[in-house]
Structure 1
Amino acid sequence: MKADPAVQRRLLELADVDAELARVDHQRRTLPELAEIAEAEMSVQARKDAKVANETALGDLDREVKRQEKEIDAVRAREDRDRALMAGGTVSAKQMTDLEHELNTLQRRQTTLEDELLELMERREAVELDGQHASVELAKAEEALSDAAGRRDHALADLETTWARRSADREKLAPAFPQPLMDLYERVRGNKGIGASLLRARRCGACRIELDRSAISRIANTAADEVVTCEECGAIMVRTGESGL
């Protein structure tokens, strides 16, 4: 394939543009903020789960407290009823003895229930404090996520600006090349990542391999308008005064 040497040299401009576009694309996919965001999202989810678990435990304790209070109220009501009967003077001596025995039992039961209620209230207080801590930790995790997302968006905006500028440069450069040359360039770039490079000091700029004497001799005897490619990586090698031929 033949192409004007000046056109071949312009391939280096195109290759520089494509290299920067590739770097931008790589940076967009590997921004450190992306890993931060993934970690922060996991942290937020874990703290949300902890908060839900705490709210569930608090709800269970609230129901237990209400049940305990209801049972205490029932015992007190039974005590009030028994005391009213004893004060009314309408019960027999045997009934009086039974009522006194029942009152003693109810008082012991009430003491037990009140102790259990106190323990429940202490547990509830501890769980409530855990819930407050969980809320603080969730807020911190959400703030960290928001900060990382903001930095990611800022970095992406800068990269998008560079991408748009270099894409415009590419659109201006592309029409300068004959279609066969452009097809070769794109094919090699698609396979190897670099379509063209400078042959500098007898070394291919794409794969960095130094050419042997026979290859250098062959290229030196090749017409200037002949397109030469690297036998190792296939990239178009652009010859200039730096090539060492």
Structure 2
Amino acid sequence: MKADPAVQRRLLDLAQVDAELARVTHRRRTLPEIAEIAEAEKVLRAKQDALTTIETTLGDLTRDVKRQETEIDQVRAREDRDRKLMQSGSVGAKQLTDLEHELATLERRQAALEDDLLELMERREAVEADVQHGRVELDKAQEAMADAARRRDSALADLESVEAKRTAERKLAATQFPAPLLSLYDRIRAHKGIGAALLQSRRCGACRIELDRNAFSKIREAAPDEVVQCEECDAIMVRTGESGL
């Protein structure tokens, strides 16, 4: 294939634009914020699960406290009823003795229930503190993820701006090349990553491999408008005064 040497040299500008577009694509895939968000999501789920567990425990303790309070109220009501019955003077000696025994039993029962209630309330108070701490930790995790998402979105917006600008430049630059030359360049770039590079001091600018004597002799003998390619990476090698020919 033949192409004007000046046109071939413009391939270097096109390759530079394509290299920047490739960097944008790579940068978009490897933004550190993406990994940060993934990690933040794991932390957030863990915090949510922990808070759900502790809130469930708090709910269970609250129900136990209410149940205990209800039972204590029932015992107190029974005590009040027995005392009123004793004070009414309408009961006989045997029934009075039975009521006295029942009151003693109820008093012991109430004391035990109140001790259990105090323990439950202390446990609930500790769990309430854990819930408050868990909510603070969850808020922190949510803010950390939101912050990473904001930074990711900002970085993506910058990349999109660069990509749009370079894509427009490439579209304009592509019109300057003959279709066969552009097709060859694009095919090489699609398969190898770099379509064209400068031949500099007997070294291919794409794969950075120095040409052997035979390959270099062939390029030296090739006509200026001959499109030459690297034997190692297939990239079009653009010849200039820096090529050492």
Asked if TM exceeds 0.5, the reply is: yes
TMscore range, shorter length: over 0.9
Cα offset, 1:84, TM superposition: 1.5
| TM-score normalised per structure 1 | 0.97
Q: Percent identity of the aligned residues?
A: 71
Cα offset, 1:92, TM superposition: 2.0
Pairing 1:202-217 to 2, within 5 Å after superposition: 202-217=202-217
Give ranges in structure 1 of 5+ residues lacking alignment.
Answer: none
| Corresponding residue of 1:130 | 130
RMSD (CA atoms): 1.1
| TM-score normalised per structure 2 | 0.97
> Aligned with 1:199: secondary structure?
strand
Q: Report Cα offsets for 1:126-180 as digits up to 9, x if no partner.
A: 1111111111111111221222122212222221111111111101111111111
| Corresponding residue of 2:42 | 42
| Corresponding residue of 1:78 | 78
Aligned-partner Cα distance in 2 for 1:203–1:48 = 58
Give ranges in structure 2 of 5+ residues lacking alignment.
Answer: none
Aligned-partner Cα distance in 1 for 2:232–2:35 = 36
Residue 146 of structure 1 aligns with an amino acid whose one-letter code is A
Cα offset, 1:41, TM superposition: 1.8
Aligned-partner Cα distance in 2 for 1:107–1:95 = 18
Cα offset, 1:48, TM superposition: 1.7
Moved more, 53-62 or 189-198: 53-62
Pairing 1:59-208 to 2, within 5 Å after superposition: 59-208=59-208
Cα offset, 1:51, TM superposition: 1.9
Q: Report Cα offsets for 1:43-66 as digits up to 9, x if no partner.
A: 222212222222211111111111
Aligned-partner Cα distance in 1 for 2:90–2:159 = 95
Aligned-partner Cα distance in 1 for 2:239–2:17 = 19
Number of residue-to-residue matches in the alignment: 245
Cα offset, 1:229, TM superposition: 0.7
Residue 76 of structure 1 aligns with an amino acid whose one-letter code is R
Cα offset, 1:210, TM superposition: 0.4
